[in-house]
A and B are shown apart, each in its own frame.
Chain A
Amino acid sequence: MSGGAAPLPWWIDYALLPLANLALALLVAGLLVLATGQSPLTAVAAMAQGAFGSGEAVGYTLYYATDMIFAGLAVAVAFHGGLFNIGVEGQAYISGLGVALVCLYLDALPVWLVAPLAVAAAALFGAGWAAVPAWLQARRGSHIVITTIMFNFIAYALMEWLIVNVLIKRGQMAPETRGFNGGGLLPGLDRFLPLAPTPLNPAFAVALACLLLVWLLIWHTRWGYALRVVGASPRAAVYAGIRPARLVIQAMLLSGALGGGIAFNEVMGAQHKLLIGFTGGYGFTGIAVALMGRNHPFGVLLAAVLFGALYQGGAELAFDMPSMSSDLVVAVQGLVILFTGGLGLMLRPAFVRAFGRS
């Protein structure tokens, strides 16, 4: 990739490049919409209106963005250690179990006590689920991509079995636990701030705190430096006296714990019960978020808000333009993921030529 790795001012890498990719994605998506005989401009306007047009819209966008921040950070942290964690989805799913157990059995306690416990449980369960693939990678060299993908399926099977057979509320058909009561209910942010009632909840604040902490950890601690060295070159790391195996395990544990934030936001913050498939694919979208955000917390934040807006705006699009099929909405979302994530570096050489400092 000639010029691909050349240094660029940070605002180009983290803001201008993603924006250009987004514009390209919307252009192609617009052609797709045009091909189905609809106006792309109306569609874009409806999506923007649906994502940011009202207090309610913003609330929903940020609520989805919360999931994306956790997922994006989880992928990003592992990525700095040269690890591709595709198992955030499964780690978050298992974290849901931890959150649900805390909320189901400790809901007699006040919420300010239950919430930190739920966060801890989410982090612990997520890290626990990441531990085995991490150990296998570090000590046995089993490729993390393969093991984390496989662990996703184990997580699905385990959680389905638990929810359908053990945790289900008796006498109902939907596979979900009973709704949480009392201390198990994380109040929405609209209870504290003058906002429209949405599922946006304090998990958003936790996500923002995680962004800051990850930034400090990766760029301002000895551990973060060591991790980046391992990610850039494990052999150089060994030469410098760093033990990669240990860092690999630690980074994966942290990644799994961050993924657990999705469970905190969804299970305790929004759904108030544990249900099948509450992770909704956010763990996988996190890969695109991290790619688009260039694994930097600030980039992850921007990308997370964009994907939150896509989710929310896409849902609203179905209401505003009933003739637009839901599959087309998914296709538009997919195009944005493709261009901003998969083809994220496509335009970079051109930017290097235009802005590069030699």
Chain B
Amino acid sequence: MSGAPRRWPSALALVASLIGLVFGGLSTLDYSRHLDRQVHDIHCSFIPGLAAGGAGENACRAAMYSPYSALFRDRYWGGIPISLFAVGAFAFFASYALYLLLAGPRAPRRAAQFFGAVSLTPLLVSALMFAISALKLGQYCKTCVGIYISSVLLAVSGIFLLLDARSKGAPAPAADKPEGAAEGAGAGRPVGSLWLVPGWLLALGIFTITPTLIYLSALPSYASYITGCGKLAKPTEPNNALLRHTPAGAKQPATLFVDPLCPTCKAFHKRLEADGIFERLDTTLVLFPLDNECNWMLDRPLHPGACLVSKAVLCGENRAVDVLEWAYDNQERLLEGAKSPAGLATVRSAIREKWSNLDACIDSKDTKLRLDRMLRHIVNNQLQVSTPQLFLGDTRLCDEDSDIGLAYSIRKLAPDLRLP
């Protein structure tokens, strides 16, 4: 082994940092683009800059909409995307790696040691986010994986830089050095002043936080937008046809219009649960099946079988939310069953298999009448034929605020609702 430190770890660190910067930057730009409250294509590819569709994009969108993608989501619309911190940090690591690469053996040991130590921090954060992807989301977005890989490469390069700094032995004591010998010249590699470390840490902090400050300074105000999506004109139904779900301690009244076989409703429900919102709502549940078997507002079924499943939910009464959540969990199977040649019989069989005690109730005229009354309640309120729709009090949560702006909008529409 030669005495001079190897250069390839610095080069690897530079490449890894630049890759991380690109993936972090794309992720941030995707997030920022959604600040207009519309839905846009997102970059979701191992090739930076390439937009993806289908399942790949779904994973990236799921990650973006998840509560783990941003901080302070209830304080700022969309929150502060964590990728912003990655952008700043990777910019720092890239410039630092470039310095180490150019300085080579003349770089102080302390600089390499510092880099080796802090280069592990992106890996720690990536490990945490990877665990969340695996355990909470169940899917991996390619842009995120790009950042994970760059973090691993950066950590590997950092470890090698650290080992290089150690393997050269302790620097010769000053007393042993020849008089007038410059640090780094001759046998010993310069150590560098300990005071440089707080300076570098400060620089890392400034780099990491600056994009966030810039982002926050440019954020528009959303106050006037989130209350402009309509009111529930007639919140009560005179025949008590609506379902109630009132968990202990729930005080915020809310009315939720859902179709048990609507994928968006399922995603919205999961989001409300993941954010700890659903269990804090005193919910009036209104079933709005988008299936022309019972819903006269449609000329074809958007979600075949939804009328039958809605009746099962209605019959669940005190366990209506359990039946609804079962329907969400089995949504694909139920929809496929309804579209199969056996049609509703398949759906009926699936319901019977899990909820055998609901059979008679599902067929009863009272249940049919109750579902009709729910639909009439929707007509009386002149709501849009779409699901889901959530009203906090009597104010509708805009569709545009139901993903990354959810926590912020809920805090504004329901200030008493204390989110975890």
- A-B interaction: no
